[in-house]
Structure 1
Amino acid sequence: MADDPFENMLAQMDRAEEYADVDHGVFERLKHPERTLKVTLPVELESGEVEVFEGYRCQFDSARGPFKGGVRFHPTVTQREVEALAGWMTWKTALVDLPYGGAKGGVICEPKDLTERDLERLTRRYTEGIRRMIGPEIDVPAPDMNTNPQTMAWMMDTYSMYEGYSVPQVVTGKPLEIGGTPGRVEATGRGVSLVTERLFEYLDRDLSDTTIAIQGFGNVGSNAARLLDEGGANVVATSDVSGAAYDPNGLDVAALGAHVDAGGLVEEYVAGEIRGGASTADSRWDDPDQITNAELLTLDVDVLIPAAVEGVITADNVDDLRASAVVEAANGPTTVAADKALTERDIQVVPDILANAGGVIVSYLEWVQNAQEFSWPLETVNAELERRIGSAFDKTVEQYDTKELPDLRTAAYTLALERTAKAHEYRGLFP
């Protein structure tokens, strides 16, 4: 299936194999997750009804260290998607040189239809279901789509209750009060912003002359938009499930962010229901136009940042894309067919395993602080994030240039596959 995320990941691996210094036998091992657990989760809802949910946890590869990966709550979660995301996490942690393997978890649900109490009960039931396969030195979950620091607090507490003592390092992305680290919430968006800046330095172009469209204004998209806007870039479009806002002269990112943070939708903002405050009354800002998410993808901009879900740039719409470069803030937003078309058109694509690695980098820093029982200030966390993701970008570009590879994704995959394969070769095959 062309829209199967796992097949998409395998195709990306296959494309890199001819350039990677990896034994074919080891390469074949890298295509298979070590294990996937399916759990059935009966939950008594606040309404008094009992609903049975399904959840998954996939542990893809542990050659380089404990498993690491987020947990998402979404109605479209499937086992194949979770396994693909666990694979992408494996290559991501290897690319940015963290001592982790890759994992991912998910629960099939519609969070908007659940109360806060329902979500707590579902989270605790899911944690109990997977607790035998997680742990500070085994597998460390984190937030993902529709999960947040509160979700991680419930997971940490549930695990700790079974252990009989507090275990903050079992998850990352926690609230600061129970072992979280400053900078974690905005880390993925900050990483996207840093990588976009690096890309324009590499292309010898000025970020201040850049127009950017961001599909998705959740945690990742909104933080990337804010930081790029503060860095001088011109964010001309962004979106959520309700639709997209577009102004070729630039959006008032701060005002839109405040509106969304207060629970509002982009559609409401465009309609003017919330605007009119001090910032939006400023004559610098025009009224944005309402466009669709599909139209946002085809805007004539310097950079397109897909920051929503996987599989949005496809063979059906890739010919209509007019962006000069794509920075993949979401996991797997570009299908293999679309990827080939973009390469043929010399459109640079910064792959997801590099572009959105800021979250797992800062999760690692949180995990290290928990293990040391010592906290770092925000400046230290942000500086280490910038150093690590900058180094990964530089090594990817060096691989791309020196080996004359077809695209940046292939360069990133060759590095990640070689590092993971080398770990397998040193460890050998048991028994």
Structure 2
Amino acid sequence: MGPAGEQTLHAVPPAGGAGPRDTEPLLRLTWTDPVTGTHGYLVVHSLISGLATGGTRMRAGATMSEVEDLARGMAAKTAVFDLPVGGAKGGIDFDPKDPRAVGVLERFCQAMRPWLDDHWVTAEDLGVPQHLIDEVFARIGLGQSYHAAIRRSADPEQTLRRVRAGLDTPVPGGLLGDVIGGYGVAQACLAAAGSWGWPLPDTTVAVQGIGTMGGGAAWYLHEAGMRVVAVADAAGTLYRPEGLDIPALLDLRDSYGEVDRSRLPADVQQLPRAAVIAMQVDVLVPAAISYAITPDNSYDVAARVVVEAANNATTPEAEDMLSARGIPVIPDFVANAGAAAWAWWLLLGQVGTDPEDSFRRLRTEMRTKVAMLLDRWSTAWVPPRQTAWGLGVDRHTAQVGEAAVEDLIIP
């Protein structure tokens, strides 16, 4: 199909009356890179006001079914947090450490331009940091990855300035746009501790993955007074039973979220990568890859609650097995939805550049939702995921396809 590469399009009409977990996606699209031959995927699960939101990830081995699951999760996130958009996701089957990766990402975005221009608001995800996708958008003439929403505003330049100012606001731990998702995950963990009356200094946490999301969660949990005893990156698990010095540890990361072992304190134990799943802790935060907890390793989980920071971190079968053992799972479309929710609050002018406004709103909404999920778990043994589907999903589903493109006003 020309220099942008080959595309295969599969449009599927949405089923009426079912929630995001039950419906077929609106669109599945497969792209073939003309240079490397790799495949990229776009799945639009649903459109509301002609828009869908969801990040773009890059990893070797990415599949259409994975991207479809992620798009379905995005539709659930937008429903739970009452955002006026549908859900989508992009994925590229390529190693982000390969020197050709930026070129692959740029060609993928160029090929997806009809959707990125009008309908799909994307952002960072696994293997694709926000600054990189914004650089690519600028090179192809779309300005910034929120372009499809920004172009609808009365003053796109002013809206773009507001978005960039919000993303680049310095806060403890980094830039607001980089840490807000991890902050939301931390608030989900803190809500769990609060629901069960756990004293924070005695509450232990293990975090699998310390990139943008996991690193942010670990930083804010440490700041709140929880004891983060283990973190894992691609090279292994780092463990200190008294608690790790998280700020110092994060300073040792490279651009891929891996810690320089040569500079570790002597009292930090180095364990195999898989050891983090089996840590005897109160809270396990899988923040690295999808499908990290499976039926094969779910019985190794010794935590009292699992808080999903990675998308689809737990397979459905593994989650059922954990629930049967009395271990609730706070689902990703609640726990890690903070970045997506905040981006739309920023786009819609509901929060500004004062970070405390953003932190306060996300803290309030996340803690309220997680407390509700765990109350249902504690009193009626209802899995948190089941309760979460009821938080606006049915009402949100009724909006799919009904609102005109012009109905969403971006100030």
Partner of 1:4: none
Displacement of 1:189 in angstroms is: 0.6
Whether 1:197 aligns to 2:177 is no
Whether 1:289 aligns to 2:289 is no
Matched-pair contact (CA < 8 Å) for 1:168–1:179: no
Displacement of 1:102 in angstroms is: 0.5
Displacement of 1:171 in angstroms is: 6.8
Whether 1:34 aligns to 2:26 is yes
Partner of 2:205: 212
More helix by share: 1
Partner of 1:222: 215
Change (3 A) 1:58 1:168: closer
Q: Percentage identity across aligned positions?
A: 31
Q: CA RMSD in A?
A: 2.9
Partner of 1:85: 70
- Counterpart CA distance in 1 for 2:126 and 2:70 is 12
The alignment partner of 2:54 has SS state of strand
Partner of 2:359: 382
Matched-pair contact (CA < 8 Å) for 1:39–1:54: yes
C-alpha offsets along residues 134-167 of structure 1, whole Å, 9 cap, x if unaligned? 23x6210110011112222234324536xxxx56
Change (3 A) 1:133 1:329: same
Partner of 1:101: 86
Q: TM-score of the superposition, structure 2-length normalised?
A: 0.82
Displacement of 1:338 in angstroms is: 1.6
Summarize the alignment of residues 21-420 of structure 1 with structure 2, pairs less than 5 Å apart: 26-27=17-18, 30-43=22-35, 51-63=36-48, 66-114=51-99, 118-135=100-117, 138-160=119-141, 166=143, 169-170=146-147, 178=164, 181=167, 182=169, 183-261=176-254, 265-266=258-259, 268-269=260-261, 273-275=262-264, 280=265, 287-369=267-349, 376-397=353-374, 404=380, 406-420=382-396
Change (3 A) 1:367 1:85: same
Letter in 2 for 1:37: L
- Counterpart CA distance in 2 for 1:264 and 1:60 is 30
The alignment partner of 2:74 has SS state of helix
Matched-pair contact (CA < 8 Å) for 1:57–1:105: yes
Displacement of 1:292 in angstroms is: 1.5
- Counterpart CA distance in 1 for 2:255 and 2:234 is 16
Displacement of 1:178 in angstroms is: 4.7
Moved over 6 A (4+): 174-177, 425-428
Change (3 A) 1:175 1:74: farther
* Range that drifts further, 236-245 or 405-414: 405-414
- Counterpart CA distance in 1 for 2:121 and 2:165 is 14
- Counterpart CA distance in 1 for 2:363 and 2:314 is 25
Letter in 1 for 2:115: M
Partner of 2:12: none
Matched-pair contact (CA < 8 Å) for 1:159–1:167: no
What is the number of equivalent residue pairs in this alignment? 372
- Counterpart CA distance in 2 for 1:226 and 1:28 is 35
Displacement of 1:375 in angstroms is: 5.0
Change (3 A) 1:200 1:27: same
- Counterpart CA distance in 1 for 2:19 and 2:195 is 34
Matched-pair contact (CA < 8 Å) for 1:243–1:290: yes
Letter in 1 for 2:116: I
Displacement of 1:394 in angstroms is: 4.4
- Counterpart CA distance in 1 for 2:207 and 2:101 is 29
C-alpha offsets along residues 37-70 of structure 1, whole Å, 9 cap, x if unaligned? 2122234xxxxxxx23321111101247620000
Matched-pair contact (CA < 8 Å) for 2:201–2:227: yes
Displacement of 1:259 in angstroms is: 0.4
Matched-pair contact (CA < 8 Å) for 1:396–1:415: no
Displacement of 1:248 in angstroms is: 1.1
The alignment partner of 2:41 has SS state of strand
Letter in 2 for 1:58: V
Displacement of 1:186 in angstroms is: 0.6
The alignment partner of 1:184 has SS state of helix
Q: TM-score of the superposition, structure 1-length normalised?
A: 0.78
Letter in 2 for 1:125: R
* Range that drifts further, 356-365 or 63-72: 63-72
Letter in 2 for 1:27: A
The alignment partner of 2:45 has SS state of strand
- Counterpart CA distance in 1 for 2:276 and 2:161 is 34
Change (3 A) 1:262 1:73: closer
C-alpha offsets along residues 247-281 of structure 1, whole Å, 9 cap, x if unaligned? 11111212210001577833x42xxx214xxxx5x
Change (3 A) 1:65 1:300: farther
